[in-house]
């Protein structure tokens, strides 16, 4: 596994305030890494350090093997940064906005013509090519800003609260665009304090609070570390008691509960693997149970965050 972003004991102090407290993380190449935390947790500070806009008080950070402190020009070539707020010049058209940044990255004028058309098509703004940026909707401005991060074809995109202020449709469009960019080989680090924005797209997450990284890794591993067993729910047409007895006798089953209303159902906790789950369902049907629904319950990112930050326990 290739690591594209790495930090070691990254610390940033503002006066007497510790914004980042010895933060150590690693982001694998090709991941969509959700950087999760409340406002003021240290997300933007981390991103500004990784994009060379802010120096750490201590500690080190690397992007694609380049040290953020020592090789700032090389790091900037590797990163496309979309801040939580971006400004534009008055009376600048969409294509001029992209042309300005492409010029800043020293892309040849002839190449910029085709590049701008490709980027506008990617973010579905070709029809707004000659529109003034200030007249675009919030969602269109966000997509245009995302296109701007891609003008120099960086392998890493760092997006700070990109869905902030968007309506539901624009959020869906942004989410699908980020998935497409990952399929194109981009690694994406995306921050948010609204966890539902990240739940359906992230392959990895990092949870930060008060400047400290509390958990980091792929989503499935973090879920298992927080709650090793899984809870399954089974709906039946047949006798609940017999089905419960059949499941209770199997290895790995921790607890079985039944309810008659509003429909016959049993739930159980299970600490085995997927092969064990398959064998369990096969055994249940073999005993004569008429199963109409069999599904595992999963914890969402809100529950994971609350457990990691010790604010509330997960549901059993």
**Local confidence band at 314 (pLDDT 50, 70, 90 cut-offs):** very low
Domain final position from 190, 218, 246: 218
Q: How far apart are CA 302 and CA 195, in angstroms?
A: 6
Residues 148 and 167 in one domain: yes
Residues 67 and 209 in one domain: yes
Q: How far apart are CA 67 and CA 61, in angstroms?
A: 6
Distance of CA 275 to the CA centre of its chain: 28
What was the pLDDT predicted at 145? 92
pLDDT at 47 > cutoff 90? yes
What stretches of 64-135 adopt beta strand conformation (E)? Answer: 66-67, 79-82
Evaluate whether residue 310 is within a structural domain.
Answer: no
Evaluate whether residue 93 is within a structural domain.
Answer: yes
Q: Which residues contact 232 (CB under 8 A, 6 or more apart)?
A: 267, 268, 269, 270, 277, 294, 295, 296, 297
**Local confidence band at 313 (pLDDT 50, 70, 90 cut-offs):** very low
CATH number of the domain at 255, please: 3.30.70.920
Tens digit of pLDDT for each residue in 212-236?
998 888 877 777 676 667 788 999 8
How far are the Cα atoms of 191, 203, 218, 219, 231 from residue 224, in angstroms, in the given order? 23, 14, 10, 9, 12
What was the pLDDT predicted at 56? 95
The total number of residues written for the chain in this structure = 316
Q: HSE-up of 287 (CA within 13 Å, CB side)?
A: 21
Q: Which domain holds residue 252?
A: 228-298
Residues 249 and 116 in one domain: no
């Amino acid at each position: 596994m290739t690591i594209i972003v790495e930090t070691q004991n990254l610390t940033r102090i503002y006066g007497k305030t510790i914004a980042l407290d010895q933060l150590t993380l690693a982001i694998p190449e090709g991941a969509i890494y959700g950087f999760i935390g409340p406002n003021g947790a240290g997300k933007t500070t981390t991103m500004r350090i990784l994009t060379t806009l802010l120096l750490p008080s201590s500690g080190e950070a690397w992007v694609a093997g380049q040290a953020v402190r020592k090789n700032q020009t090389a790091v900037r070539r590797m990163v496309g940064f979309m801040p939580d707020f971006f400004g534009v010049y008055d009376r600048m058209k969409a294509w001029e906005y992209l042309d300005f940044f492409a010029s800043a990255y020293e892309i040849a004028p002839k190449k910029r013509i085709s590049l701008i058309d490709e980027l506008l098509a990617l973010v579905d703004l070709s029809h707004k090519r000659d529109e003034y940026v200030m007249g675009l909707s919030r969602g269109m401005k966000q997509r245009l800003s995302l296109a701007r991060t891609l003008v120099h074809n960086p392998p890493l995109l760092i997006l700070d609260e990109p869905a902030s202020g968007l309506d539901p449709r624009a959020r869906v469009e942004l989410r699908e665009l980020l998935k497409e960019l990952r399929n194109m080989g981009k690694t994406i680090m995306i921050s948010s304090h609204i966890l539902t924005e990240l739940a359906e797209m992230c392959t990895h997450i990092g949870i930060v609070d008060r400047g400290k990284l509390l958990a980091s890794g792929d989503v499935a591993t973090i879920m298992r570390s927080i709650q090793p067993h899984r809870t399954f729910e089974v709906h039946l047409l047949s006798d609940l008691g017999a089905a419960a007895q059949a499941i209770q006798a199997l290895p790995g089953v921790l607890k079985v509960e039944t309810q008659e209303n509003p429909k016959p159902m049993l739930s159980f906790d299970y600490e085995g693997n997927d092969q064990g789950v398959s064998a369990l369902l096969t055994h249940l049907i073999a005993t004569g149970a008429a199963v109409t629904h069999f599904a595992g319950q999963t914890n969402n990112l809100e529950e994971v965050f609350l457990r990691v930050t010790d604010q509330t326990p997960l549901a059993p």
